[in-house]
């Protein structure tokens, strides 16, 4: 592993975590390309490895958000506990698809996500709480 | 099944399949649906989404682990700085407008999408 790759991986990890804290995602959308580009993983390996990294990021992020009063634990747990069917379908599908198709679909998701964020960035400021009286 | 539970189940299933298929947590699905269907505020939605993601990603990492594709050392390499980042990110979120960050994040996403495809 070259030093520049290591620095790249650390930098994209940091960026992924910050993005996760700011917009409420696990940061996988950045960690997957980071693992492919800097750490030489295939698309499928990167997705698998990213998931393990996300667990720590999301757990710490949720803990911090709980401190700010922003975590509704029961809803979070219900969503997590009801997810295995979807997880299984997605995982089997990821392993069945070709690397190329997987990479192209992932890139499409990234661009869609970028579009949503860009809209948020340029949207007019949210209206203030309705003025009383 | 109450309609609330049914909606949570829909969010869970869609986010779970997204997670297993793309190696992400599924927050892209969870955050907007919590806001849209349950009237969550933006910060509550991101906080609750992170809680759900911790569970979903653990399950998905386990499933991918069965296929032998998880590399724990590389997960640590990219995950440790990310844990530092998420602490900074959540603290920042309480203080600043997210507009600039959203824009910068969008640019990084497009660039890395291009790097994956070409």
Look at residue A48 and tell me whether its pLDDT is greater than 70.
Answer: yes
Domain count, chain A: 1
Quick check: B50 and A24 CB within 8 A?
yes
More confident residue, A24 or B29: B29
Chain B residues closer than 8 Å to A86 by CB: 12-20
- Does a structural domain hold residue A66? yes
Q: Is 90 exceeded by the pLDDT of residue B9?
A: yes
d(C-alpha B63, C-alpha B57), whole Å: 10
Does the residue A127 lie in any domain?
Answer: no
- Residue numbers in A near B117 (CB within 8 A): 103-104, 107
Give the distance, in angstroms, between the CA of residue B105 and the centroid of all CA atoms in the same chain. 14
Cβ within 8 Å, pair B50-A22? no
Q: Express each pLDDT in A100-110 by its tens digit.
A: 999 999 999 88
A127 touches chain B (CB under 8 A): no
Smallest Cα distance from B96 to chain A, Å: 10
With respect to residue A13, please indicate whether it lies within any of the assigned structural domains.
yes
CB-based contact B31 A25, cutoff 8 Å: yes
**Looking at residues A81-92, what average pLDDT do you find?**
97
Handedness of CA B27, A84, B33, B113 (dihedral sign): positive
User: How many CB atoms are located within 10 Å of the residue B32 CB?
Assistant: 16
Q: 3-state secondary structure string, chain B?
A: CCHHHHHHHHHHHHHHHHHHHHCCCCHHHHHHHHHHHHCCCHHHHHHHHHHHHHHHHHHHHHHHHHCCCCCHHHHHHHHHHHHHHHHHHHHHHCCCCCHHHHHHHHHHHHHHHHHHHC
Residue A107 lies in a domain: yes
The domain of A59 spans 3-122
Tell me, yes or no, whether A130 lies in a domain: no
Q: How far is A25 from chain B (nearest CA, A)?
A: 4
Q: Does A101 touch chain B (CB under 8 A)?
A: no
Give dist(CA A53, CA B71) in Å, integer: 10
Can you give the residue ranges of every domain in chain B? Answer: 1-70, 71-118
pTM: 0.86
The answer to the question of residue A15 being in a domain is: yes
């Amino acid at each position: 592993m070259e030093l520049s790759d290591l620095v790249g991986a650390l930098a994209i990890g940091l960026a992924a975590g910050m993005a996760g804290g700011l917009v409420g995602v696990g940061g996988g959308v950045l960690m997957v390309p980071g693992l492919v580009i800097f750490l030489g993983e295939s698309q499928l390996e990167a997705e698998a490895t990213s998931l393990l990294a996300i667990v720590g990021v999301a757990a710490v992020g949720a803990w911090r958000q709980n401190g700010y009063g922003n975590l509704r634990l029961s809803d979070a747990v219900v969503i997590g506990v009801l997810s295995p069917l979807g997880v299984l379908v997605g995982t089997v599908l990821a392993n069945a698809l070709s690397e190329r198709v997987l990479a192209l679909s992932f890139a499409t998701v990234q661009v869609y996500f970028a579009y949503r964020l860009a809209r948020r960035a340029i949207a007019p400021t949210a209206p203030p709480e309705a003025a009383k009286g | 099944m109450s309609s609330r539970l049914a909606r949570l189940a829909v969010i869970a299933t869609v986010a779970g399949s997204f997670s297993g298929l793309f190696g992400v947590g599924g927050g892209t699905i969870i955050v907007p649906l919590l806001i849209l269907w349950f009237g969550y505020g933006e910060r509550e939605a991101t906080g609750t989404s992170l809680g759900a993601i911790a569970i979903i990603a653990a399950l998905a990492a386990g499933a991918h682990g069965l296929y032998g594709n998880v590399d724990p050392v590389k997960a640590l390499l990219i995950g440790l700085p990310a844990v530092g980042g998420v602490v900074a990110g959540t603290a920042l979120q309480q203080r600043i407008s997210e507009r600039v960050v959203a824009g910068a994040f969008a640019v990084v996403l497009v660039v890395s999408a291009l790097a994956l495809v070409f």
